[in-house]
């Protein structure tokens, strides 16, 4: 028996009700047995119970919280002096006005980083990794920080947090065309990193969030780019900090060589699984059972809920069930949002009617501004209550909820594995808000298994390396592969041209197999892509053959519809979204397709065309330079600043009103986004509202949210 804790228990025995005293005693027993994780879970459940009853923490409760390392949950005002001293010892600067206490394992990770160690950390979703990064920056004050995140949405979320804390001292960079300040924090997906690889000489710390995506098993389409980014930036990094959830083992590999793997299982919330699928009787089919169970849960008003649907068709099914089951919320903010959607996207767009009933949608086929607004409204008490999603909700944002409903165990056409399942249910519960998160399983989850993260070394990644300075340890066969690739490209394009092209950041970021295919096409036919010259003009009908050829080699599906959308949307700045939809819907293109096609055009299509233009310019000097077309396509045929402002949370339709007011010129593509942000700050919120005409109440709500995000 821990003597100190035993005497504390005896002292408060008469003051506590029997249930709480019994639970405290059981926690003490677990601690004596050395079962700290179990004791911690019991403490969290006890705190949840006290919160529901509005009971304050007595010194005994604070002592138990301290014993299990949950220092952020302590109440120093009701702690005895020994526990309060321990609480103060774990407080640290995280870039805000006051210091915050870290929990035991957060403090451990921060200590290792401050010592200069490079570490790869696996920790639960609720671990609180952002606090560690913020504390490191606040204490260490590094000059150059690079934070690689998996999505643009997460980049915006991270930018907002860092701007609030460090915006006065650091330049926070999320785009590919910014000038680098002496103190800069870069936050972006891996595809944008190559724009700065030759500019950055030294990186003080390289952070890779969700680094499990470097495995093709978890992100087949983008893993090679992330591996390449880790190598190229790793060459310049003094220190590396890689983060992932739920990894059991990390075998030796060249990508994390020199880093120590820390597997931490410190949970700050408790997840309770409700195995609803066990209630299905044999006389009821699975689909009927799931529909009825979802209706019942929706009508019980169980609180903020994320519903994992798994596939796009399932999202429609789940939304229809919820829409038929739930009354309108009669929320002023949701009604305003619904009207705003109808005005700016069209009343036919289903989100218009869903949000009135507190239902949101999160998937990869949606305008960033709509996703951001829904996440914002999901955080509000008077906002969205249910968010129906694909895996985008576990990859793109840090939103968590009181509940998670697992409607399906599919991720597209494949079944989810245990690792993905853990990531999904990890969204239930939230530090300081939901001590206990509930997971309602409508289908049987995958079987428990350990997750070993195998980081393989694909040939495409090997070929993209510089043989004289690869950045990682290579074997003889890999050196020969690099040489063979360079010899092949030099023979294909000519040694001088290949030498000139090789160090171009866009060429280095291109998949070697795709690069070789493009080079072969160009060398075989000087007129490929067909009608290439037409891209320097504005006659969209003449673009079609060239667009088709680029879509083909970029392997973008639904070629005909993407081509049609590109031609029509090329006038997007002068048209409204309902106007564009009215034209493209005749070709079977839905609103969701429009969002998806815009993303493919602005990245896959534009980046492929950029490689084609570079090679054609080098091989055939008289070829027209179509850089202007590529620039426009990469910005979804919007002014560059308008497209970038959407990542900051300002939708294009509001940017249009601001531009037309004459207060800021958003059509000047030579202006850097940071300069425009400073201009917004100079103008100020109130002055903007007075100057810009035609802003409705929800426009103003969005602009306020935008201003909160720029500091």
Residues 561 and 474 in one domain: no
Neighbours of 250 (CB within 10 A): 24
Confidence of residue 569 (pLDDT cuts 50, 70, 90): very high
- pLDDT > 90 fraction of the chain, expressed in percent and rounded: 83
Whole-model pTM over 0.95: no
In a domain, 122, yes or no: yes
Q: Are 171 and 144 in contact (CB under 8 A)?
A: no
Confidence of residue 50 (pLDDT cuts 50, 70, 90): confident
Q: Which residues of 35-63 are buried (b: 16+ CB within 10 A; e: fewer)?
A: eeeebbbbbbbbbbebeeeeeebbbbbbb
Residues 331 and 250 in one domain: no
Residues 280 and 417 in one domain: yes
Among 634, 661, 692, the domain-final residue is 634
In a domain, 557, yes or no: yes
Judged against a pLDDT cut of 80, whether residue 705 lies above it is answered with: yes
pLDDT at position 1: 41
Q: Which of 470, 478, 502, 479 is nearest to 489 (CA)?
A: 502
In a domain, 92, yes or no: no
What is the number of alpha carbons within 13 Å of residue 401 lying toward its C-beta? Answer: 30
Tokens of 216: 């093709």
Neighbours of 662 (CB within 10 A): 9
pLDDT at position 130: 86
Q: What is the pLDDT of residues 165-218, one digit of tens each?
A: 999 999 999 999 999 999 999 999 999 999 999 899 999 999 999 999 999 998
What is the rounded CA–CA span in Å between residue 176 and residue 191?
10
In this structure, what are the phi and psi dihedrals at residue 109, rounded to the nearest 5 degrees?
-65, -45
In a domain, 453, yes or no: no
User: CB within 8 A of 51, min separation 6: which ones?
Assistant: 435
Residues 554 and 612 in one domain: yes
pLDDT at position 7: 56
Residues 360 and 478 in one domain: no
pLDDT at position 10: 53
Among 602, 634, 666, the domain-final residue is 634
What is the rounded CA–CA span in Å between residue 155 and residue 698?
24
Residues 433 and 474 in one domain: no
Residues 497 and 381 in one domain: no
In a domain, 472, yes or no: yes
Neighbours of 414 (CB within 10 A): 10
Residues 608 and 534 in one domain: yes
In a domain, 696, yes or no: yes
> How many domains in the chain?
6
| CATH assignment of the domain containing 321 | 3.40.50.300
Judged against a pLDDT cut of 50, whether residue 155 lies above it is answered with: yes
What is the Cα Rg of the chain in Å?
Answer: 27
What is the residue whose two structure tokens read 């609803």? 276
In a domain, 680, yes or no: yes
Residue 113: give the domain boundaries. 100-263
Tell me what the pLDDT averaged over the chain comes to: 92
Residues 111 and 254 in one domain: yes
| Distances, alpha carbon 642 to alpha carbons 51, 370, 652, in Å | 45, 15, 6
pLDDT at position 4: 54
Name the 3-class secondary structure at 584.
Answer: helix
Q: What is the pLDDT of residues 241-264, one digit of tens each?
A: 999 999 999 999 999 999 999 999
In a domain, 447, yes or no: no
Which residues sit opposite 241 in a β-bridge? 119, 207
Residues 656 and 595 in one domain: no
Residues 625 and 668 in one domain: no
Q: What is the pLDDT of residues 501-554, one digit of tens each?
A: 998 989 989 999 999 999 999 999 999 999 999 999 989 989 999 999 999 999
Residues 563 and 682 in one domain: no
Among 599, 634, 669, the domain-final residue is 634
Q: What is the pLDDT of residues 319-345, one digit of tens each?
A: 999 999 999 999 999 999 999 999 999
Q: Which of 259, 247, 171 is nearest to 210 (CA)?
A: 247
């Amino acid at each position: 028996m821990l003597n100190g804790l035993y005497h504390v228990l005896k002292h408060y025995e008469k003051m506590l009700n029997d249930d709480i005293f019994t639970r405290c005693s059981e926690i003490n027993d677990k601690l004596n047995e050395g079962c700290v994780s179990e004791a911690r879970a019991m403490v969290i459940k006890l705190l949840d119970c006290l919160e529901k009853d509005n009971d304050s923490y007595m010194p005994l409760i604070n002592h138990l919280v301290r014993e299990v390392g949950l220092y952020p949950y302590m109440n120093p005002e009701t702690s005895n002096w020994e526990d309060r001293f321990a609480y103060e010892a774990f407080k640290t600067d995280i870039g805000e006005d006051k210091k915050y206490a870290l929990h035991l394992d957060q403090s451990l990770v921060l200590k290792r980083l401050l010592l200069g160690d490079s570490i790869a950390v696996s920790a639960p979703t609720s671990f609180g990794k952002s606090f560690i990064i913020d504390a490191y920056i606040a204490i260490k004050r590094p000059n150059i920080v690079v934070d690689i995140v998996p999505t643009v949405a997460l980049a915006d979320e991270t930018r907002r947090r860092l701007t609030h804390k460090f915006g006065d001292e650091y330049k926070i960079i999320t785009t590919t065309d910014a000038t680098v300040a002496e103190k800069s924090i870069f936050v972006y997906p891996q595809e944008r990193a190559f724009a700065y690889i030759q500019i950055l000489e030294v990186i003080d710390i390289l952070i890779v969030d969700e680094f499990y995506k470097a495995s093709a098993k978890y992100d087949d389409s983008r893993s090679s780019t992330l591996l390449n980014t880790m190598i190229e930036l790793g060459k310049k990094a003094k220190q590396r900090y890689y983060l992932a959830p739920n990894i059991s083992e990390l075998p030796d590999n060249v990508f994390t060589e020199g880093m120590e793997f820390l597997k931490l299982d410190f949970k700050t919330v408790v997840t309770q699984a409700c195995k609803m699928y066990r209630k299905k009787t044999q006389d009821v089919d699975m689909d009927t059972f799931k529909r009825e169970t979802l209706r019942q849960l929706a009508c019980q008003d169980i609180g903020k809920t994320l519903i994992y649907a798994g596939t796009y068709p399932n999202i429609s099914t789940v939304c229809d069930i919820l829409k038929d089951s739930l009354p309108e919320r009669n929320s002023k903010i949701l009604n305003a949002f619904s009207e705003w959607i109808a005005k700016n996207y069209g009343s036919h767009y289903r989100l218009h009617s869903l949000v009135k009933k507190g239902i949101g949608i999160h998937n990869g086929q949606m305008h960033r501004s709509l996703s951001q607004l829904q996440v914002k409204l999901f955080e509000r008490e008077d906002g969205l209550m249910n968010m129906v999603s694909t895996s985008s909700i576990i990859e793109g944002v840090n939103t968590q909820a009181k509940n998670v409903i697992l409607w399906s165990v599919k991720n597209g056409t494949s079944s989810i594995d245990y690792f993905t399942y853990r990531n999904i249910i990890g969204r239930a519960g939230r530090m300081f808000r939901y001590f206990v998160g509930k997971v309602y399983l409508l289908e049987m989850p995958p079987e428990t298994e350990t997750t070993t993260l195998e980081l393989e070394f694909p040939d495409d990644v090997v070929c993209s390396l510089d043989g004289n300075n690869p950045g990682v340890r290579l074997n003889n066969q890999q050196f020969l592969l690099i040489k063979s690739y360079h010899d092949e490209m030099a023979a294909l394009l000519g040694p001088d041209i290949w030498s000139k092209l090789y160090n171009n950041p866009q060429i280095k970021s291109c998949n070697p197999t795709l690069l070789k295919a493009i080079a072969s096409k160009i060398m075989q036919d000087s007129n490929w892509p067909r009608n290439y010259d037409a891209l320097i003009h504005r006659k969209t009908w003449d673009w079609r053959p060239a667009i088709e050829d680029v879509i083909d080699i970029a392997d973008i599906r639904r070629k005909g519809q993407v081509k049609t959308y590109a031609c029509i949307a090329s006038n997007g700045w002068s048209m409204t979204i309902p106007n564009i939809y009215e034209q493209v819907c005749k070709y079977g293109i839905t609103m969701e397709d429009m969002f998806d096609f815009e993303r493919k055009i602005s990245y896959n299509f534009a980046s492929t065309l950029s490689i084609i233009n570079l090679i054609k310019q080098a091989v055939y000097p008289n070829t027209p330079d179509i850089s202007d077309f590529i620039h426009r396509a990469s910005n979804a045929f919007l002014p560059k600043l308008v497209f970038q402002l959407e990542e900051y949370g300002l939708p294009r339709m509001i940017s249009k009103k601001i531009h037309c007011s004459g207060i800021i010129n958003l059509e000047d593509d030579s202006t850097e986004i940071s300069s425009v942000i400073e201009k917004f700050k100079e103008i100020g919120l109130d002055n903007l509202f007075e100057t810009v005409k035609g802003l409705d109440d929800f426009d103003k709500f969005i602009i306020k949210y935008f201003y909160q995000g720029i500091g």
